[in-house]
Amino acid sequence: MSDVLLEVNHVKKYFKTPKGILHAVDDVSFSIDRGKTLGVVGESGCGKSTTGRVVLRLLEPTEGSILMEGEDISKLNEAQMRSKRKEMQMIFQDPLASLDPRKTVGQIIEEPLKIHNIISSSKERQKRVLELMETVGLAQRYYSTYPHELDGGRRQRIGIARALSMRPKFIVCDEPVSALDVSIQAQILNLLEDLQKQMGLTYMFITHDLSVVHHFSDDIAVMYLGKIIEIAPSDALFAAPTHPYTQALLSAIPVPKLENRRERIILKGEITSPINLPKACRFASRCLYATERCFTGEPELREIAPGHKVACFLQEK
Ligand code: SF4
């Protein structure tokens, strides 16, 4: 039986701009079971990071509901949300930009414990910080160092320790390895995976790189211009990518074995503006299979196999 931790229903996030309404997130729905990972993939500007921020209510949704363990957190007031946020944390892409350069590693990790008055004794707080450092593989000798003195991988470990200090249930990981060297990326992904197993954490893992999330995610949602255009169990998506955009993304992943290589699909055409969108498939201007219908109507996300949904007219019977 599934145990849903997070349920996002018809969430929209629009921004007013001088040129019109920007549809950053446009009617997005998904759920994540406890202890599982949803990878969210797409090009920059597709709305994946905005979705992560809306889910945590760092940005207010324009419409829709966000249920955490059945409770609609979109209706909580500021004080209620502050308390709820302990359970819902975020790990950022650029550790250096997200860490206060004037604070030491110890001070950064201890900060949430102080703000939320979780541990009042400074001695106990230090003990907890050292425990957290050990959990994320940061040696105790870094306790009094500053983030700029450390490499990218260690800085990201600080960000992870800070997020864990609140004993969260759910973490939005926003491109947590994109700024790191490939060898360090694997270490951080392994750490996140180990922490998930140890603590039963639930992740929303945002990335522009499909290859990063294949083994890491249980399910993958592909976003394009504010919409989920395909969502499926990770292996099913890689075995049978169905939306033409997903197929193009997958064809760009280097594969070592010649017999497994897919023909590279190069996308041409202009990306449709997310402002004042026409009623059409958002991918139509770049799609190799677009027909007249694709320019006059918008396909809905439909289930084509258990847990596998696609928004494309080609899949309609
Ligand atoms: Fe391409 Fe049409 Fe499918 Fe959109 S609906 S992805 S334009 S075939």
Tell me the per-residue pLDDT of 21-77, one tens digit each, with 9 for 90 and over. Answer: 999 999 999 999 999 999 999 998 899 999 999 999 999 999 999 999 999 999 999
Check the CA dihedral 235-240-243-246 and report its sign. positive
State the alpha helices, DSSP H only, in the chain. Answer: 48-55, 78-84, 95-98, 105-115, 122-135, 152-164, 182-199, 210-213, 234-239, 244-251
pLDDT interval class at 269 (50, 70, 90): confident
Q: Output the CA 273–ligand 1 centroid distance in Å.
A: 17
**Of the given ranges (23-37, 185-199, 204-218, 221-235), which has the lowest mean pLDDT?**
204-218
Residue of 242 and 211 predicted with greater confidence: 242
Give yes or no for a contact between 226 and 274, defined as CB atoms under 8 angstroms apart. Answer: yes
Packing angle between helix 152-164 and helix 182-199, nearest 10 degrees?
Answer: 20
pLDDT value at position 146? 96
**Ligand 1 in contact with 280 (CB < 6 A)?**
no
pLDDT value at position 95? 73
pLDDT value at position 182? 86
Region of 69 (left: φ > 0; alpha: ψ -120 to 50; beta: rest) is left
Say whether pLDDT at 263 is over 80: no
pLDDT value at position 4? 97
Reference 33, options 7, 8, 5, 72; nearest CA is 5
Average pLDDT of the chain, as a whole number: 92
pLDDT value at position 259? 64
- Give the type of residue at 55: V
Percent of the chain whose pLDDT exceeds 70: 96
Phi, psi of 129 (to 5 degrees): -65, -45
283-295 average pLDDT score: 95
**Of the given ranges (120-124, 177-181, 201-205, 235-239), which has the lowest mean pLDDT?**
177-181
Q: Which atom of ligand 1 is nearest to the CA of 313?
A: 5
As given in the structure block, the two tokens for residue 7 are 């349920």
Q: Output the CA 61–ligand 1 centroid distance in Å.
A: 28
* Separation of alpha carbons 277 and 224, rounded Å: 13
**Ligand 1 in contact with 40 (CB < 6 A)?**
no
**Ligand 1 in contact with 216 (CB < 6 A)?**
no
Cβ neighbours of residue 129 closer than 8 Å, sequence gap 6 or more: 106, 109, 110, 113, 143, 161, 165
112-129 average pLDDT score: 92
Residue nearest to atom 3 of ligand 1 (CA): 312
Residue to probe by mutation, ligand 1, list 294, 302, 310, most atoms within 8 Å of CB:
294
Per the listing, tokens 């799609």 go with 287
Domains along the chain? 4-315 (3.40.50.300)
pLDDT value at position 258? 61
**Of the given ranges (74-88, 190-204, 214-228, 251-265), which has the lowest mean pLDDT?**
251-265
pLDDT value at position 96? 76
161-179 average pLDDT score: 94
pLDDT value at position 241? 95
Q: Output the CA 284–ligand 1 centroid distance in Å.
A: 6
Residue of 209 and 27 predicted with greater confidence: 27
Q: Output the CA 245–ligand 1 centroid distance in Å.
A: 9
- Give the type of residue at 250: L
Give yes or no for a contact between 42 and 222, defined as CB atoms under 8 angstroms apart. Answer: yes
**Ligand 1 in contact with 284 (CB < 6 A)?**
yes
**Ligand 1 in contact with 159 (CB < 6 A)?**
no
Q: Which atom of ligand 1 is nearest to the CA of 293?
A: 2
pLDDT digits (tens, 9 = 90+) for 297-306: 999 999 999 9
Say whether pLDDT at 317 is over 70: no
Element (H, E) at 204: strand 202-207
User: What is the b/e burial string over 198-233, where b = at least 16 CB atoms within 10 angstroms of the residue's CB?
Assistant: eeebbbbbbbebbebbbebbbbbbbbbbbbbbbbbb
User: What separation in angstroms does the CA of 239 have from each of 54, 59, 231, 253, 306?
Assistant: 31, 35, 13, 13, 14
Say whether pLDDT at 233 is over 80: yes
Q: Which atom of ligand 1 is nearest to the CA of 295?
A: 7
pLDDT value at position 267? 81
- Give the type of residue at 22: L
As given in the structure block, the two tokens for residue 309 are 């949904």
202-231 average pLDDT score: 94
